[in-house]
């Protein structure tokens, strides 16, 4: 009954918090203490070397380079791939802002591609229509940890001779046809920001199977220095974007626990998918054939017409009142105030008209359909997951039973 909903004064499904993330373990504590007491804290640290070796192996890559953030990892990768001022870089219009700002920081122009509505990832067909003589890189994003259609994207890369930089910020351990994402293109970037499936508070990494590319990345992240060169030998305009040894020490033990965390997230995602498949109006996201998600965030689609016009924001409020935090996630990037470009500050944007962009799928997903669960909702017990399912069932049933009551709800 509608009166049973917490938003109308009923008892919520859940009042206790979901599991805390990041998780503190004795192995992490011991790793940090050992580094503090016995290692260099920055350049020359064995912890950083160890992390690079272990993370590269985990991601099926020959090389890994620890960076101080995922955002910087994108900038470094773009510069190392040859992107110069005024060049164009194709990215999805549905992603975190850093994918775009890193392009701008490289003095290049973000060119936005639409997404596939069913997966939330960049649409390869949209990429094809955007390629020009100025296109110097493509950044597919593995949204929520779900692999993008890299087979088609790599085909585009080969045919047009355009390097691929994978934004795998949310996709630690994710796979496509038994190959880890991040190692499929020229390079791949990862983030270790607080909410990520591997967390050091802040941090990032670049992986690659290309020696010359990773050497160029080294120069850009280390003040323009050259591997095996003199300490004060600087060939390019780099910056200090190195990771601290303490961040590496926090991450190393998580490489060992990522497999069990991956399995737990997969199990809980499957339970949620199975439940939502029985609820008219909610559609779980699809994965491409051969794709295995890291399940960083659980996402599904809210179909307003199935709820007699009840807006998604009303659904969010009802779910949040039940103790399960659902929210909208990202907005279309080309609508962000950042892209009301000041041509005086960014002269290479002089003729770019972001206001004219309208991506049907991105706007449908971002502004009407996308439902996100907070990252820590996938790392709980069966009881935790059942609470999420029960909240979905309770709210969906109530809206369908008396949609008029929700249409008039004052938020």
CATH (domain of 291): 3.90.1150.10
- Whether 382 has a pLDDT exceeding 60, the answer reads yes
- Looking at the structure, do residues 362 and 403 belong to the same domain, yes or no? yes
**Residues 91, 92, 97, 103, Cα dihedral to 10°:** 10
Question: How do residues 63-91 score in pLDDT, each as one tens digit?
Answer: 999 999 999 999 999 999 999 999 999 99
Q: What angle do CA 322, 323, 329 make, to 5 degrees?
A: 105
CATH, residue 50 = 3.40.640.10
Residue 154 and residue 7 in one domain: no
Asked whether residue 2 carries a pLDDT value surpassing 70, the answer given is no
Dig out the tokens for 39 from the structure: 């290692």
In a shared domain, residues 181 and 290: no
Whole-number Cα distances in Å, 212 to 44, 256, 325: 22, 29, 45
Q: Does residue 189 sit in the same domain as residue 247? A: yes
Note whether 262 and 243 are same-domain residues: no
Average pLDDT rounded to a whole number, residues 8-16 = 95
Identify whether residues 368 and 325 lie together within a single domain: yes
Containing domain of residue 38, as a range?
26-254
Dump pLDDT digits (tens) for 92-105.
999 999 999 999 99
Which of 200, 227, 254 marks a domain boundary? 254
Q: What is the pLDDT of residues 123-145, one digit of tens each?
A: 999 999 999 999 999 999 999 99
Domains of the chain: total: 2
pLDDT tens for 137-173 read: 999 999 999 999 999 999 999 999 999 999 999 999 9
Tokens of 157: 């890369």
Residue 227 has pLDDT above 70, yes or no: yes
Looking at the fold, whether 226 and 326 belong to one and the same domain comes out as: no
Write down the pLDDT at residue 14: 96
Q: What is the structure's pLDDT at 3?
A: 52
Q: Report DSSP state, residue 184.
A: S
* Residue 233 and residue 293 in one domain: no
Final residue of a structural domain among 187, 222, 254 = 254
- What mean pLDDT comes out for the span 280-286? 97
**Cα–Cα distance between 62 and 50 in angstroms, integer?**
14
Whether residue 344 has pLDDT greater than 90: no
Kindly state whether residues 142 and 109 are assigned to the same domain: yes
pLDDT of res. 353: 87
Is the pLDDT confidence value at 231 over 50? yes
**Looking at the chain, how many residues does it have?**
411
The reported pTM is: 0.96
Task: Examine the fold and report which residue of 229, 254, 279 is the final residue of a domain before the chain moves on.
Answer: 254
What is the full DSSP assignment across 327-354? E-----GGGSGGGS--TTT-GGGTT--G
**Pairing assessment for the beta strands 187-191 and 204-208 based on DSSP bridges:** antiparallel
311 and 392 fall within a common domain: yes
Strand pairing category for 282-284 and 298-302: antiparallel
pLDDT tens readout for residues 19-44: 999 999 999 999 999 999 999 999 99
Statement to judge: residues 59 and 85 lie in one domain: yes
Residues 106 and 169 in one domain: yes
């Amino acid at each position: 009954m509608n009166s049973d909903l917490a938003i109308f004064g009923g008892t919520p499904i859940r009042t206790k918090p979901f599991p805390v993330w990041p998780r503190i373990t004795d192995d992490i504590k011991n790793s940090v203490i050992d580094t503090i007491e016995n290692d260099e804290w920055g350049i020359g640290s064995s912890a950083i070397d160890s992390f690079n070796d272990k993370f590269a192996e985990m991601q099926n890559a020959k090389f890994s380079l620890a960076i101080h953030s995922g955002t910087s990892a994108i900038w470094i990768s773009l510069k190392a791939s040859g992107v110069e001022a005024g060049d164009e870089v194709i990215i999805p219009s549905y992603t975190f802002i850093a994918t775009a700002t890193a392009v701008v920081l490289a003095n290049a122009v973000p060119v936005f591609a639409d997404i596939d509505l069913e997966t939330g990832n960049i649409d390869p067909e949209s990429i094809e229509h955007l390629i020009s003589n100025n296109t110097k890189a493509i950044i597919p994003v593995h949204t929520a940890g779900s692999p993008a259609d890299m087979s088609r994207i790599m085909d585009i890369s080969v045919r047009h001779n355009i390097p691929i930089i994978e934004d795998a910020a949310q996709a630690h351990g994710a796979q496509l046809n038994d190959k880890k994402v991040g190692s499929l293109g020229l390079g791949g970037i990862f983030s270790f920001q607080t909410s990520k499936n591997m967390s050091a508070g802040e941090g990032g990494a670049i992986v690659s199977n290309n020696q010359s590319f990773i050497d160029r990345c080294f120069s850009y992240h280390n003040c323009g220095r050259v591997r095996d060169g003199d300490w004060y030998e600087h060939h390019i305009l780099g910056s200090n974007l190195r990771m601290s040894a303490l961040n590496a020490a926090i991450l190393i033990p998580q490489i060992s626990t990522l497999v069990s965390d991956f399995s737990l997230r997969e199990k809980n995602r499957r339970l949620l998918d199975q439940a939502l498949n029985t609820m008219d109006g909610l559609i779980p996201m699809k994965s491409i054939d051969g794709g295995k998600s890291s399940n960083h965030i659980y996402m599904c689609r809210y179909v307003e017409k199935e709820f007699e016009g009840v807006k998604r924001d009303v659904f969010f409020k009802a779910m949040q009142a039940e103790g399960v935090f659902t929210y909208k996630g990202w907005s279309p990037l080309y609508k962000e105030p950042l892209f009301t470009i000041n041509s005086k500050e960014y002269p290479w944007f002089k003729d770019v008209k972001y206001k004219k962009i309208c991506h049907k799928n991105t706007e449908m997903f971002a502004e009407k359909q996308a439902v996100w669960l907070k990252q820590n909702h996938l790392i709980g017990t069966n009881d935790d997951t059942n609470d999420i399912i029960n909240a979905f069932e309770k709210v969906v049933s109530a809206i369908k039973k008396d949609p008029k009551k929700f249409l008039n709800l004052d938020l």
